[in-house]
Amino acid sequence: MNIIWSPLALDRISEIAQYIARDKPLAAEKWVRAIFSKVEELETSPEIGRIVPEIGNIQFRELIYSNYRIIYRIEKRRISILTIRHSRQLLPLEELKA
């Protein structure tokens, strides 16, 4: 399956990496690489993530990496990465419309 990143998801990665890099630049680079690596797993196993609890729809799933939720939608021929959120943040449902 193809993986498509929404502009919002890429912006969130950039924002989070910049925040981490303030104190630990190498940790920020490692975090970004790990997020992309985790998402690559979806190419062969798109259903490995759990169903997003706030939604309850099997199309909307999430992978957990460290303290972050990688929210994605399974579509016919692709996986859309919708957003990245810290696990303590509420998930605004408008972020799922990408």
For 71-96, what is each residue's pLDDT tens digit?
A: 999 998 999 999 999 888 777 777 77
The whole-number pLDDT of residue 45 equals 92
- pLDDT value at position 10? 96
Q: Give residue 59's identity as a one-letter amino acid code.
A: Q
In a domain, 64, yes or no: yes
To the nearest whole number, what is the mean pLDDT of the chain? 91
pLDDT of residue 98: 53
- The answer to whether the CB of 63 falls within 8 A of the CB of 70 is yes
pTM: 0.89
The answer on pLDDT for 1 being more than 90 is no
Residue tagged 């972020």 (tokens): 95
The confidence score (pLDDT) of residue 94 equals 74
* Angle at CA of residue 38, ends 56 and 36, nearest 5°: 115
User: What is the distance between the alpha carbons of residues 55 and 78, in angstroms, rounded to a whole number?
Assistant: 20
Give me the residue label for tokens 């939720």: 69
Q: Which residues constitute the domain of residue 51?
A: 2-89
Question: Can you give the CATH number for the domain in which 45 is found?
Answer: 3.30.2310.20
How many whole angstroms from its chain centre is CA 84?
A: 4
* Number of domains present in the structure of the chain: 1
Residue 96 lies inside a defined structural domain of this protein: no
